[in-house]
């Protein structure tokens, strides 16, 4: 062999060695043969072209031996390891299954035995209150209630929103869903009120304490990523089916935006403004009430607006556990494949959503302008 051919052989990558090593490594996966056979063929070619004194020759010999060993190991794997195929390809199957479902059942049983009486009493109070509030709204004649709601929309928003409110209310009455719409409105108003009463203090507290902030924010992330149907399970478990459990589910589902945007709005208040208030001798309470909350009001109103929209989106889902109202009509239309009932009642939910959204949106704009 000429010196030029020997130099070229020295410069070539020892592919037989690489193929042989891969054949051994992948033999438990039954595919070592795919690398072993080409390794032997490549090794024979290198042996023909190289001199026995060269390092490439020695590496080719080692590669061919590794390839043959990989083929043998692959055959052995096919014969002896095929019953353990699942374990080889998925070692996680060896891990014991965590008894999480059993633990949840144990915790739920303990909670029900400990607090079941209290939750049942709370459910009865909530049921009675919501029923009385709905009866109060139904006490007004539909025309009078529509006029009063339109005047409120005019006062809080604009004349065009007032006109839409009156027309929308008249359509809901004309479609025969007046009582259902007021029941839904009661559920929304009570749920949003409770969300604000709980959410505002928690949001304010999260801006005062970094520890509270670090605890609350992961909880909010968990609440907002949890599927909506999951909220129905603990609500029914503790409060049984009915308006009380539906209200609890709506509150838990719609509360996170209030907490998150309240904290965000207060944190976005300029530090210079707060320092100026401090320089004038304001107390922490005065800075919160007269400086931070007024400046954060647009962001807080955005959180309340999102809270209302999430509550409305939960109305139909909550109908599965006895929420009643327009959501029950939508659910009935789905169950009976009655497209007309489902569409008209769903349109009623949309009208309520637009009215409440426009009123809160205008309030947010006025706060921003101020």
Segments of the chain assigned to CATH 1.10.3720.10: 100-139+176-369
Highest mean pLDDT among 13-17, 105-109, 316-320, 351-355: 351-355
Residue 76 has pLDDT above 80, yes or no: no
Mean pLDDT throughout 343-349?
88
As a whole number of Å, the CA-based R_g of the chain is 35
| Separate counts of helices (H) and strands (E) for the chain | 18, 0
Length of the chain equals 370
> How much is the average pLDDT of 4-23?
60
DSSP conformation letters of 297-343: HHHHHHHHHHHHHHHHHHHHHHGGGT--HHHHHHHHHHHTT-HHHHH
Q: How many Å apart are CA 284 and CA 203, to the nearest integer?
A: 16
Cα-Cα-Cα-Cα dihedral sign, residues 192, 193, 194, 198: positive
Q: Please tell me the predicted confidence (pLDDT) of residue 281.
A: 80
Least confident of 2-16, 46-60, 298-312, 314-328: 2-16
Q: Give how far the C-alpha of residue 301 lies from the chain's centroid of Cα atoms, to the nearest Å.
A: 22
The secondary structure of residue 96, as a DSSP letter, is P
Q: Could you tell me the two tokens for 281?
A: 């001798």
Q: What's the pLDDT band for 6 if we cut at 50, 70, 90? A: very low
Mean pLDDT of the chain: 80
**% of residues, the chain, pLDDT over 90:** 4
What is the model's pLDDT at position 320? 81
Q: How far apart are CA 267 and CA 352, in angstroms?
A: 32
- Mean per-residue pLDDT for 304-330? 83
Distances from the Cα of 282 to the Cα of 106, 189, 370, angstroms:
52, 35, 22
Q: Is the pLDDT of residue 300 over 80?
A: yes
| pLDDT tens for each residue of 220-244 | 888 878 877 777 877 777 777 778 8
Is the model's pLDDT at 262 over the cut of 70? yes
Please state the separation of Cα 203 from the chain's center in Å: 20
pLDDT band at 91 (very low <50, low <70, confident <90, very high): low
CA distance 2 to 276: 90
Residues 152-170: pLDDT tens digits? Answer: 888 887 888 889 989 998 9
> Is the pLDDT confidence value at 369 over 60?
no
Contacts of residue 11, defined as CB under 8 A and 6 or more positions apart, other chains included, come to none
What is the arithmetic mean of pLDDT over 96-123?
A: 80
pLDDT digit string (tens) for 131-144?
888 888 889 898 99
The domain 100-139+176-369 having CATH identifier 3.40.50.11890: the answer here is: no
Distance CA 236, CA 219 (A): 21
The C-alpha atoms of residue 156 and residue 357 are separated, in whole angstroms, by 11
């Amino acid at each position: 062999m000429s010196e030029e051919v020997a130099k070229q052989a020295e410069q070539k990558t020892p592919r037989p060695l690489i193929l042989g090593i891969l054949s051994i490594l992948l033999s438990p996966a039954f595919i070592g043969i795919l690398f072993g056979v080409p390794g032997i063929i490549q090794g024979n070619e290198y042996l023909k072209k190289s001199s026995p004194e060269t390092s490439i020759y020695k590496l080719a010999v080692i590669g061919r031996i590794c390839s043959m060993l990989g083929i043998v190991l692959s055959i052995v794997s096919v014969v002896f390891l095929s019953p353990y195929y699942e374990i080889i390809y998925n070692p996680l199957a060896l891990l014991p299954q965590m008894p999480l479902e059993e633990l949840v059942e144990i915790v739920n049983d303990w909670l029900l035995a400990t607090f079941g009486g209290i939750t049942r009493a709370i459910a009865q109070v909530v049921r009675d209150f919501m029923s009385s509030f709905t009866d109060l709204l139904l006490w007004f004649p539909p025309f009078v209630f529509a006029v009063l709601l339109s005047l409120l929309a005019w006062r809080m928003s604009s004349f065009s929103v007032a006109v839409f409110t009156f027309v929308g209310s008249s359509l809901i009455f004309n479609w025969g869903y007046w009582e259902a719409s007021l029941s839904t409105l009661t559920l929304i108003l009570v749920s949003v009120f409770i969300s604000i009463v709980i959410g505002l203090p928690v949001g304010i507290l999260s801006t005062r304490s970094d520890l509270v902030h670090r605890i609350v924010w992961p909880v909010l992330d968990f609440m907002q990523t949890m599927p909506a149907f999951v909220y129905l399970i603990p609500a029914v478990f503790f409060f049984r089916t009915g308006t009380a459990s539906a209200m609890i589910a709506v509150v838990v589902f719609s509360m996170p935006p209030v907490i998150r945007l309240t904290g965000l709005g207060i944190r976005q208040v300029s530090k210079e403004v707060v320092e100026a208030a401090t320089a004038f001798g304001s107390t922490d309470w005065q800075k919160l009430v007269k400086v931070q909350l007024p400046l954060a009001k647009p962001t807080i109103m955005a959180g309340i607006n999102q809270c209302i929209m999430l509550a409305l989106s939960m109305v139909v889902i909550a109908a599965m556990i006895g929420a009643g109202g327009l959501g029950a009509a939508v659910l009935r239309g789905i169950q009976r494949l009655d497209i007309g009932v489902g569409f008209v009642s769903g349109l009623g939910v949309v009208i309520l959503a637009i009215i409440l959204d426009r009123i809160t949106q205008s309030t947010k704009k006025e706060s921003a302008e101020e």
